[in-house]
Structure 1
């Protein structure tokens, strides 16, 4: 890239430090135009106190050459009149060992909006242009420092809401998913080479491919693709959050459950049925999984128009949930209101919370599973805090499919990646069907090559400019 770009790299608002980043061939000259290094001097006299002398105060110019990768204290000044803009620390980093693989300069000034805008304006007036959203990371991709999947993981690192999400995103930014995709493409390329040479040079003394060997190779590749697809559901939940809705009839303990999970009194709790008349939504982390938790109004028949609106919203929350926490009172058993709710939970992942067991229980797990086969059942007491640890473990097990841990490289968090892996898998399935039917190798090669290209889009090797531009348009300015 011929031009030099600049942008504020930290979030807008008040902060101790804000950073303006410059990248491109003029990064050093832009920095030298507006930054003057200031050396620390020792004063003579009582206490041998140290202080920083500004050039204006000393009458001398202290502007030593910028040293590569050395953080230097000084002042940002307006080169037109030498006026002080802000105190700052600055560093110049020479290509290619930088984030963008270009010459990069960073100026760390006070984190006020005014200071950052003034410093950025000076950069733009002295040889840089304003960066587009995601352009720093786009340059890292175009310069070969990151592939496309690693670049997309940068967004997930920035937006991560939990330790689990951050660790997965960080692993992918370091190339864990990329390595899996490259291994698969290598397998496909080996197969393509073998198919192609058998097509083009059938009479030569080369390794002959037979359909049994082709079947075996395609099956092994598809097994790897299916493993990635299996981790995609978990990945989406880690990245976007798990939508959990608390459902049940009025006065069964739903608001108490929400308060217990949030560890704060967010929802009103009384012994009056129908206290909650609207949905209440909060975000939290459960076992490292981001959760969007919704407390709903009790679902029941009522003539109260306001409560009816709340109940309709409750039904909508149930429909869009990934997981339902259905609360029933163990000491009362199934009531007609409970039985009216159960059909709404059909085909939803559901954990039945058998609440108020401190008062005794007339319901058993067998009785619940008779009405709701496939549901998980946990005994709880909101009053005594019983069952909360088990509930959190159950949520984690449901997200990870009962596996204690998954390799970060096997967790696909990006919808674009998942779609491309599924497309590649479909191509391999077509190739398997043709191979089992002993179709001509020419037809099978087309599907294998398309799967190879689909996976190449994930890491950017076969992605067109439109896809690349769309990916980086999702980035924030300065990243």
Structure 2
């Protein structure tokens, strides 16, 4: 059932000078509230573009624009809704907002338009989250994935799992209610097989969570190593531009450099750090300390070593810092030859020449592999941290039931309770059941006009 709430207004375009600025309004009686400030010929027709003149309380002209009215329920929010396009002068837009607020229309909260669309059943919670993902997407891949989620593809996959659980619950309930009648039920082996299928489906979705997090927030990739191993040269080579200063003087990089990059559609926060070594120079010491701090926030570390020379104590010291993290050893200076003892010191490595570009494609592929991109690429639907937490809860319950059922009989009543708990977590993902706190958390990250 569509509910018309109090009218709200917000600027739907970025604040600042632009050709057009769009004001979005939604809620009960919103058209009647702003009519005193509009001059137009004839009645307002739904979904028609009307040339209007915006006037103040005394009838003085403020601007001309285009108004489109979307009556409930066929609108983005499901409520009566208006989009008013004016010239993108901040003074005009601010004055329009003042007029509408004076008419008793409230300024919208972050994400409130999409929140109302969710509450009115125009989209589920996964689709609502996809709106924010689409706006904030930093690569074409992230845009495509957000669009697929907005179209409901992730919702459909989770809904299929939920439906299979509900069907299983129906059989269990029938076994409880009609145990003495000739009602078809499932054998223990059939239940186990269905649980196995559910476990696989959930594990497949959860396998996309790592890439999903990187798509939404970016992958922090830190380049570390001792001075003069070619960190800055590698940084420049990966970016394809001379961003970092490169010299033969040790300690040239005194602080970290950070640039936005992407490979395979995954946004990368690429960081070039100062060379890590023991030094008495107080400025360089600060750079070394910042390099060590960057290791803590890196999802993947590129440890750069001069592959043409024997290892030194500083190389081994830095390796001890990163070996327990997700890291890739990069043996640089391939063009100068390979020191066999250095190559034998590491179980895995990638050989490159930052100078010639040789091996850089192999390094890119290895970064993607470590990020989990290739294992998750097939579905092109990636769950978020919120989704993953709830899916994991559901999976844990199903695995517990599966293990107990394999080892011993479980009463239908207990089995049904477990299955209902698993369903509940899935319904939290979609938003069939949710709390105000969860909605506040999700929609607070939206921009105000969306």
Are the aligned partners of 2:52 and 2:65 in contact in 1 as well (CA < 8 Å)? yes
Aligned-partner Cα distance in 2 for 1:112–1:246: 44
Equivalent position SS for 2:19: coil
User: Where in structure 2 are the equivalents of 1:32-431 lying within 5 Å?
Assistant: 32-37=35-40, 63-78=41-56, 80-363=57-340, 368=343, 370-373=344-347, 375-377=348-350, 379-403=351-375, 405-409=377-381, 411-412=382-383, 414-431=384-401
Are the aligned partners of 1:172 and 1:408 in contact in 2 as well (CA < 8 Å)? no
| 2:405 alignment partner, one of 413, 435, 459 | 435
Cα deviations across residues 237-275 of structure 1 (Å, max 9, x unaligned)?
A: 111111101011101111122222233333221110011
Equivalent position SS for 2:223: strand
| 1:472 alignment partner, one of 432, 443, 446 | 443
- Report the Cα offset of residue 404 of structure 1: 8.2
Equivalent position SS for 1:22: strand
**Taking structure 2 as the reference length, what is the TM-score of the superposition?**
0.94
Are the aligned partners of 1:100 and 1:136 in contact in 2 as well (CA < 8 Å)? yes
Are the aligned partners of 1:334 and 1:363 in contact in 2 as well (CA < 8 Å)? no
Aligned-partner Cα distance in 2 for 1:181–1:469: 23
Equivalent position SS for 1:307: helix
- Report the Cα offset of residue 156 of structure 1: 0.9
Query: Which residue in the other structure is 2:425 paired with?
Result: 454
- Report the Cα offset of residue 401 of structure 1: 4.7
Equivalent position SS for 2:156: helix
Cα deviations across residues 392-418 of structure 1 (Å, max 9, x unaligned)?
A: 233223323534832133x21x21111
Aligned-partner Cα distance in 1 for 2:137–2:373: 22
Are the aligned partners of 2:233 and 2:246 in contact in 1 as well (CA < 8 Å)? yes
Q: Summarize the Cα distance change of 1:14–1:387 in structure 2 as closer, same or farther, 3 Å threshold.
A: farther
Name which of structure 1's ranges 8-17 and 235-244 shifts more when overlaid on structure 2.
Answer: 8-17
- Report the Cα offset of residue 94 of structure 1: 2.1
Equivalent position SS for 2:13: coil
Are the aligned partners of 2:22 and 2:83 in contact in 1 as well (CA < 8 Å)? yes
Aligned-partner Cα distance in 1 for 2:411–2:7: 53
Aligned-partner Cα distance in 1 for 2:436–2:172: 30
Are the aligned partners of 1:238 and 1:290 in contact in 2 as well (CA < 8 Å)? yes
Aligned-partner Cα distance in 2 for 1:258–1:228: 34
Q: CA RMSD in A?
A: 1.8
Are the aligned partners of 2:261 and 2:268 in contact in 1 as well (CA < 8 Å)? yes
Are the aligned partners of 1:6 and 1:23 in contact in 2 as well (CA < 8 Å)? yes
Aligned-partner Cα distance in 1 for 2:62–2:415: 66
Are the aligned partners of 2:211 and 2:376 in contact in 1 as well (CA < 8 Å)? no
Equivalent position SS for 1:16: strand
Are the aligned partners of 2:208 and 2:376 in contact in 1 as well (CA < 8 Å)? no
- Report the Cα offset of residue 83 of structure 1: 0.9
Are the aligned partners of 1:31 and 1:105 in contact in 2 as well (CA < 8 Å)? no
Gaps of 5+ in 1: 38-62
* Pairs aligned (count): 446
Equivalent position SS for 1:419: helix
Name the larger-Rg structure: 1
Aligned-partner Cα distance in 1 for 2:430–2:443: 14
Are the aligned partners of 2:331 and 2:349 in contact in 1 as well (CA < 8 Å)? no
Gaps of 5+ in 2: none
- Report the Cα offset of residue 282 of structure 1: 2.0
**Taking structure 1 as the reference length, what is the TM-score of the superposition?**
0.89
Equivalent position SS for 1:452: helix
Q: Summarize the Cα distance change of 1:257–1:186 in structure 2 as closer, same or farther, 3 Å threshold.
A: same
